[in-house]
Amino acid sequence: MTIKPIVIISGEPNSIFSEILIKAIRNYRNSKPIILIGSYDLITKQLNILNIKYKFNLIDKKFNNKNISNKKINIIDINYNFKAPFETISTRSNLYLKECFNLAISLSKNYSISGIINGPVSKKYFLNEKFPGVTEYLAYEFKIKKYAMLIYNKKLSVAPITTHMPIRNISQKLSKKLIIDRAVLINNFYIKYIKKKPKIAILGLNPHCENFSKFNEEKEIIEPAIKVLQKKKLLIFGPLSADSIFMKNNREKFDVIIGMYHDQVLTPIKALFNFDSINITLGLPLIRVSPDHGPNFSMVKKNKSNPKSLLESIKFLDRLN
C-alpha cells in the first residue's frame, strides 16, 4: 500500500517556521513521509543562523515513491532570490507564499496525500482584505462554499461561526443556515475521523443569551438553528451562556463548543491549552491543518519558540488513514 505523504507549506520568510519545523520533527518519529514546499536556500540559511543542523532530501515536484525519504524531510525547492535570510514582508515574500500554496493545492489534486499543513502566515499582508484568513483563502481556491474552522484538541475543541471580522459586523453575518452548515460539518468530521458522535454546545451571541432590543439573535437565529440540528439527530445543546461554559464542570460535558464569533471561543481555548491545539479547515476535499498561532515576529532568531502546535498538526495527519 502506498503511504500518503504529508505536505507542509513554508510559513512567512520572516517567522519562527524553520525553527519549529525542525524542533517538531526531532521530537516525533513520523510514519508518513513529509514533503516541504519552500526555499531550500532560505530555510538552510535560517537554520545555520539558529545553529540548527539538518540535512533535507531534495526532490522534484514530479516526485515518485522511489525518491521520497521516510527518514528525512523531503523538500521541493521554490527558488526565490531573497535579500536576507529572514526577509521581512514584501511583495516578493507574498509571491513566494502564493507559489508555495499553489503548488500544494496542485499536488493535492494530482497525488494521494494525507493532507496539508501550512506554516504561519500574516493575514494582514499575505491575505490582505480579500481573505480574512487561510480558511477562507483555501475555500476560495478549492471553490468550496460550505466550510468551517475547528480549533481541535482531543479534550475539547471550539469553532467560531463567524471568523475574522469586526465585532460590529457579526450580528449581520449570522444566519440560521450558517450555523446549521458548520455544525453539520463538525459533527461529520468527528464521526469520520475521531470515530465518535460529538456532544456540541452552541453559545448565544449576547451576554447571558439575553437581548432586549427588537431583534433578538438568540430567538430569531440561534434557537431555530438548534431545533433543526436536533431534528437531524445531532447531539446539540444550547444556546448556552459564554461567560460560564468554559468552567471545568461545564466544559467537560462537551466535545465541541461552537461560538458565534472568533474571540468568544479562541481566547478561552488558548488560555486552557496554550500551544496544544491545531487549526483544522473542514469542508475541503482534503484535511488542512495549521499551528494555532501566527509568525511570531518578536521571537524570530531567538531559537526559543515552542513547536508544540506544529508537532500536534503533524501527529494528527500522521495518524489518519
What's residue 161's pLDDT? 96
User: In whole angstroms, what is the distance from residue 39 CA to residue 44 CA?
Assistant: 8
User: In whole angstroms, what is the distance from residue 133 CA to residue 313 CA?
Assistant: 18
Residue 1's pLDDT band, with cuts at 50, 70 and 90, is very low
Nearest to 209 by CA among 200, 195, 221: 221
Residue 85's pLDDT band, with cuts at 50, 70 and 90, is confident
- Mean pLDDT value across residues 282-306: 84
| HEC letters along 233-295 | CCEEEEEECCCCCCCHHHHCCCCEEEECCHHHHHHHHHHHHCCCCEEEEECCCCCEEEECCCC
What does the DSSP 8-state code read for residue 191?
Answer: I
For the chain, percent of residues with pLDDT exceeding 70: 97
This prediction has a pTM of 0.89
- Mean pLDDT value across residues 213-231: 91
Long-range CB pairs of 164-170 (<8 Å, 24+ gap) are 164/123, 164/132, 164/133, 164/136, 164/262, 165/132, 165/261, 165/262, 167/261, 170/205, 170/260, 170/261
What's residue 2's pLDDT? 64
- Mean pLDDT value across residues 124-142: 80
Q: Which fold has domain 146-283?
A: Isopropylmalate Dehydrogenase (3.40.718)
- Structural domain spans, the chain: 1-144+284-321, 146-283
Give me the CATH code for the 1-144+284-321 domain, please: 3.40.718.10
User: In whole angstroms, what is the distance from residue 274 CA to residue 307 CA?
Assistant: 11
The amino acid present at 252, given as its one-letter code, is E
Q: Who contacts 63 (Cβ-Cβ below 8 Å, separation ≥6)? A: 35, 74, 76
- Mean pLDDT value across residues 304-317: 89
- Mean pLDDT value across residues 62-89: 83
Do 1-144+284-321 and 146-283 fold alike per CATH?
yes
User: pLDDT tens digit string along 235-255?
Assistant: 999 999 999 999 999 999 999
Residue 102's pLDDT band, with cuts at 50, 70 and 90, is very high
